[in-house]
Chains A and B, each alone.
Chain A
Amino acid sequence: DIQMTQSPPTLSASVGDRVTITCRASQSISSWLAWYQQKPGKAPKLLIYKASSLESGVPSRFSGSGSGTEFTLTISSLQPDDFATYYCQQYNSFALTFGGGTKVEIK
């Protein structure tokens, strides 16, 4: 199975900060990567698919980049609604796998 490693596990930031989360795959997954946001007690929400395509309705402050084995999710200016946990997921091959998550906390 392809292992997905996210860093950092926790990130403390302030409103207005630029935030970057990294996801590394144990082998090449081309651009078959998605990013999700999850808030406590809620289902995950798709933000980015195919590494850099913004899902409809998602604010443009979210962006994704990368290919192969290294990917990033960037929030250009952190907003109060963005404090949540973020997960990457590869869909290059089965078994589909998720990263361990990055919790974005208020500094």
Chain B
Amino acid sequence: QVQLVESGGGLVKPGGSLRLSCSASGFTFSDYYMSWIRQAPGKGLEWVSYISRSGNTIYYADSVKGRFTVSRDNAKNSLYLQMNSLRAEDTAVYYCARDRATGAFDYWGQGTLVTVSS
């Protein structure tokens, strides 16, 4: 069965860095576009970043552009999000999600919590 498992979240000080990972199984990872989506505590969903199947096409939300970098390793069935210059407003649960080839997300991970606080 399709599984997405995020890891790498935790507590980090403002200005710090963190790298999130998403391990995929149960499907051919290289066949799917992937995205990161976050949800601040008690708030709604915010799309963060998208990466194409080969990694050649990438998009970011304006709120993270220049600070976050998405990447993938199809050989390792893994998706990554390198987060630099973290701010308090980046505090959220971060989900990786599979794109069902049209931009709707049919599978999501359980999420990993990132807390940015001094």
B44:A91 contact, CB within 8 angstroms = no
Closest to A95 in B: B61
The answer to whether residues A96 and B109 also contact, given A46-B104, A87-B44 and a CB cut-off of 8 A, is no
Interface centre among B95, B102, B109, B111 (most CB of A within 10 A): B102
B61 touches A49 (CB 8 A): no
Residues of B within 8 A of A96 (CB): 35, 47, 50, 103
B: number of interface residues (CB 8 Å)? 20
Question: Across the interface, do B47 and A43 meet the contact criterion of CB distance under 8 Å?
Answer: no
Closest A-chain residue to B60, C-beta based? A95
Could you say which of A43, A94, A98 contacts B46, with CB atoms under 8 Å apart? A98
* Number of interface residues, chain A, beta carbon within 8 A: 24
Q: Which residues of B contact A49 (CB under 8 A)?
A: 100, 102, 104, 106
Given contacts A87-B44, A98-B47, contact A43 B110 (CB under 8 A): yes
Say if the beta carbon of B59 comes within 8 Å of chain A.
Answer: yes
Q: What's the Cα separation between A79 and B109 when bound, in Å?
A: 26
The 3 closest A-B pairs by CB, nearest first: A91-B103, A34-B104, A43-B108
A-B residue pairs in contact (CB < 8 Å), sample of 23: A34-B104, A38-B45, A43-B95, A43-B109, A44-B105, A46-B100, A46-B105, A46-B106, A49-B100, A49-B106, A55-B106, A89-B45, A89-B47, A89-B105, A91-B104, A94-B59, A95-B47, A96-B35, A96-B47, A96-B50, A97-B47, A98-B46, A101-B44
Q: Could you list 15 further interchain pairs (A-B, Cβ under 8 angstroms) beyond the known A91-B104, A92-B103, A95-B62?
A: A34-B103, A36-B45, A43-B111, A44-B45, A46-B104, A46-B105, A49-B102, A49-B104, A50-B102, A50-B104, A89-B104, A95-B59, A98-B44, A98-B46, A101-B45
